[in-house]
A and B are shown apart, each in its own frame.
Chain A
Amino acid sequence: MADKKVLVVDDEIHIVQVVAIKLRNNGYQVFTAENGAEALELAGREKPDVIISDFQMPVMTGLELAENLRKHSETADIPVVMLTARGFAIDDTQRETLRIAACLSKPFSPREVLQCIEEVISHSTAA
């Protein structure tokens, strides 16, 4: 997985850190961002294979980040995994329109995150 890049976005530094450690320990190249604006810039530059983002963030929410990603051709196809404390906040239409690959509820398990990332990457590679 050394060639696979993951961008982790959360304003909670501890969450970003724990996900990053888990993914790095399992061979992923990880980039981190504290907010949506920073994430957009990193996504355009690094072109990660998957973005894992918090749903509720200041400056730009996870949904707004996904909307912005779809507007630019270089980031339009990057699958997004949403971390949320409100599982009910994203409906199926939004998931489809914004190509949100999966949603994980807080509190989450790092093992679960790793497994989800692996599935999303293998699915997008197969596609």
Chain B
Amino acid sequence: MNHENANLTFRRFQIVPMVCCGIVFLSLGMCILSSATAMAGYIPVLAGLSGMAALLWPAIAWIRTLSRLERLERNLAKGQPGLSISRSGGIASILARQCVESLRNFQAQTEQSGQRQNDLSLKLQLLEKQKQSIEQIIHTIRDAVVVVDGFDRIVLANSAAEQIFGFSARSSLARTVGEAIDHPEFVASMCHIRQSKLPHLKHELTVKAGDHLHVYDCIFSCIRDEKQEIAGVVAILHDITREKEISQMKNDFVSHVSHELKTPLASINAYAEMLVDGEAQDEQAIHQFCSIIQSQALRLNRLIEDILNISRIESGLIKVDKQNLSMALLMRDAVEMITSYAQEKNITIHTPPAILYDQVHADKDMISQVIINLLSNAVKYTPQGGSVSIESQVNEADGVIRVSVIDTGVGIPPEAVDHVFDKFYRVEQNKKVAKGTGLGLNLVKQIVETVHGGRVFVASEVGKGSTFGFEIPLAAGQQITAKA
């Protein structure tokens, strides 16, 4: 481009000497003609020669200047702009100097322009990288992001959004959100915030994913341009399904615990009031009322202990006192404790002959609690006249003892079996059979697995009964001899 401009300039300057030369030759011709025809002596000839000289000098100066300009052009092309122009001389020199000055300015501007172009190119590359980086970040985040323009057309949607709504963002670009996303509630919210021009809109959205319903906390925000006009809408969807489940479990827990706590409390309060009001009519009645108050206070304490024990085990703050114990003795003691409860329901508890040498290294109170919880659950969910049995097996190969509690109770539906050890979980179908907080089996699991490094198991069939049990390691160095 620079050289083409320079050439154009030279071509313009070349016209001037050509005209000058033409005038010179015309003057010379006229002089010769006047000399020859008029024979008037040398005066016209001198006049013609002087005219020629006057006109030739600028022409020659132009030619020299052009020659220098050509050299200048060549030097410019080679990147050597330095060229001295004679300061003396006439119009041609002045024009030439101006021309060189212009060329220098032009060259400087060209260099600056080139530099700016390079800078812009670098900035453009930087911006492109930043854009890619931001897009990468948006695509990577777990929350779904959907952006539409002022006409509800998809501008951007990240991978999470594609997954939630089951659409392809790439093939949906420039399509409206209603065309791309098959979720009328979401689409309506997006359109609503744009039309209402609210800065933000919070909305809870339920989306079906396969057989599961997911709940999302959606925040829609308007994007405004420099004139504060709505340029689009950005929607961010955060999955709160788990939080909802936990919240529901907490509510259920509070509800159950509230009932469980209030029932013994109601008894304590009512019998205490009866004593105060003199409603106990004899010593026997007074004694009975006091006994009930005491037993209900103990029941309340057990419930609170269960809650605290789970909390302590989970936080690792529980004090564990492990020692070598006979599992058979622990089982026998637990059966003795639960017998009166079983007798109330006319349920028989079967205990096979004890296994000798079944020592475990365990916390006595905790393992007793495990066996009592399993036995009381078995009795609780077994109808009148049913049976419950407890047995143990030593597995020499794995170095564990396995304790099983088998009942002929209501059983557990297959879909609920995997959840029975979850905290606060209660089998929906069995809620009416017996009361509970959903804490007993979770405490069993925590004691067996977290404190003793064992495992719990369950097998059940609706209407036939359940087998709950656990395995914990035998005491180290135990000489195992299993006897029936």
Chain A residues with CB under 8 Å of chain B are 11-12, 14-15, 17-19, 21-22, 25, 56, 58-61, 85-86, 106-111
> From A55, which residue of chain B is reached at the shortest CB distance?
B259
Hey, what's the 0/1 contact readout for B262-289 against A, CB within 8 Å counting as 1? 1101111111011001010100010000
Q: Which residues of A contact B285 (CB under 8 A)?
A: 21
Q: Which residues of B contact A56 (CB under 8 A)?
A: 259, 435
Q: Which of B267, B273, B296, B432 contacts A58 (CB 8 A)?
A: B432
The answer to whether A108 and B432 touch across the interface, beta carbons within 8 angstroms, is no
Q: Which residues of B contact A14 (CB under 8 A)?
A: 267, 271, 292, 296
- Chain A: interface secondary structure? loop
> From B269, which residue of chain A is reached at the shortest CB distance?
A107
> From A36, which residue of chain B is reached at the shortest CB distance?
B432
The answer to whether A85 and B262 touch across the interface, beta carbons within 8 angstroms, is yes
- Residues of B399-429 at the interface with A, using a CB-CB cut-off of 8 Å, are none
The answer to whether A107 and B262 touch across the interface, beta carbons within 8 angstroms, is yes
Q: How large is the interface on B (under 10, 10 to 19, 20 to 34, 35 or more residues)?
A: 20 to 34
Given contacts A12-B267, A85-B259, A85-B263, contact A111 B277 (CB under 8 A): yes
Q: Which residues of B contact A25 (CB under 8 A)?
A: 279, 281
> From A11, which residue of chain B is reached at the shortest CB distance?
B435
Given contacts A14-B271, A59-B432, contact A110 B279 (CB under 8 A): yes
Q: Which residues of B contact A109 (CB under 8 A)?
A: 269-270, 273
Q: Which residues of B contact A11 (CB under 8 A)?
A: 435
Bound-complex Cα distance A16 to B277 (A): 18
The answer to whether B265 and A18 touch across the interface, beta carbons within 8 angstroms, is no
- Report if B213 contacts A (CB, 8 A): no
The answer to whether B263 and A15 touch across the interface, beta carbons within 8 angstroms, is yes
- Report if B110 contacts A (CB, 8 A): no
Bound-complex Cα distance A107 to B271 (A): 11
The answer to whether A18 and B274 touch across the interface, beta carbons within 8 angstroms, is yes
- Report if B433 contacts A (CB, 8 A): yes
Q: Which residues of B contact A19 (CB under 8 A)?
A: 270
Q: Which residues of A contact B296 (CB under 8 A)?
A: 14
Q: Which residues of B contact A110 (CB under 8 A)?
A: 270, 273-274, 277, 279
Some 28 contacts from A to B, beta carbons below 8 A apart, are A12-B266, A14-B267, A15-B266, A15-B267, A18-B270, A18-B271, A21-B274, A22-B274, A25-B279, A58-B431, A58-B432, A59-B432, A59-B433, A60-B432, A85-B262, A86-B255, A86-B258, A106-B266, A107-B266, A107-B268, A107-B269, A107-B270, A108-B269, A109-B269, A109-B270, A110-B273, A110-B274, A111-B273
The answer to whether A108 and B266 touch across the interface, beta carbons within 8 angstroms, is yes
Please give the distance in Å from B151's CB to the nearest CB on chain A. 46
Bound-complex Cα distance A36 to B263 (A): 18
> From A26, which residue of chain B is reached at the shortest CB distance?
B279
**6 nearest A-B residue pairs (beta carbon):** A107-B266, A107-B269, A85-B262, A106-B266, A85-B259, A106-B262
- Residues of B126-173 at the interface with A, using a CB-CB cut-off of 8 Å, are none
Given contacts A58-B434, A109-B273, A110-B270, contact A12 B279 (CB under 8 A): no
Interface centre among A14, A19, A21, A22 (most CB of B within 10 A): A14
Q: Which residues of B contact A60 (CB under 8 A)?
A: 432
Please give the distance in Å from A85's CB to the nearest CB on chain B. 4
Q: Which residues of B contact A22 (CB under 8 A)?
A: 274, 279
Given contacts A86-B258, A107-B262, 14 further A-B contacts (CB under 8 A): A14-B271, A15-B267, A18-B270, A18-B292, A21-B285, A22-B274, A25-B279, A56-B259, A60-B432, A86-B255, A106-B266, A107-B268, A108-B270, A110-B270
> From B430, which residue of chain A is reached at the shortest CB distance?
A58
Hey, what's the 0/1 contact readout for B236-256 against A, CB within 8 Å counting as 1? 000000000000000000010
> From A88, which residue of chain B is reached at the shortest CB distance?
B255
Bound-complex Cα distance A14 to B265 (A): 11
Bound-complex Cα distance A17 to B271 (A): 10
Hey, what's the 0/1 contact readout for B359-378 against A, CB within 8 Å counting as 1? 00000000000000000000
The answer to whether B265 and A107 touch across the interface, beta carbons within 8 angstroms, is yes
Interface centre among A11, A22, A61, A85 (most CB of B within 10 A): A85
Q: Which residues of A contact B292 (CB under 8 A)?
A: 14, 17-18
> From B431, which residue of chain A is reached at the shortest CB distance?
A58
> From B299, which residue of chain A is reached at the shortest CB distance?
A14
Q: Which residues of A contact B281 (CB under 8 A)?
A: 25
The answer to whether B258 and A85 touch across the interface, beta carbons within 8 angstroms, is yes
Q: Which residues of A contact B435 (CB under 8 A)?
A: 11, 56, 58
The answer to whether B259 and A86 touch across the interface, beta carbons within 8 angstroms, is yes
Bound-complex Cα distance A92 to B269 (A): 28
Please give the distance in Å from A100's CB to the nearest CB on chain B. 18
Bound-complex Cα distance A76 to B258 (A): 32
Hey, what's the 0/1 contact readout for B301-344 against A, CB within 8 Å counting as 1? 00000000000000000000000000000000000000000000
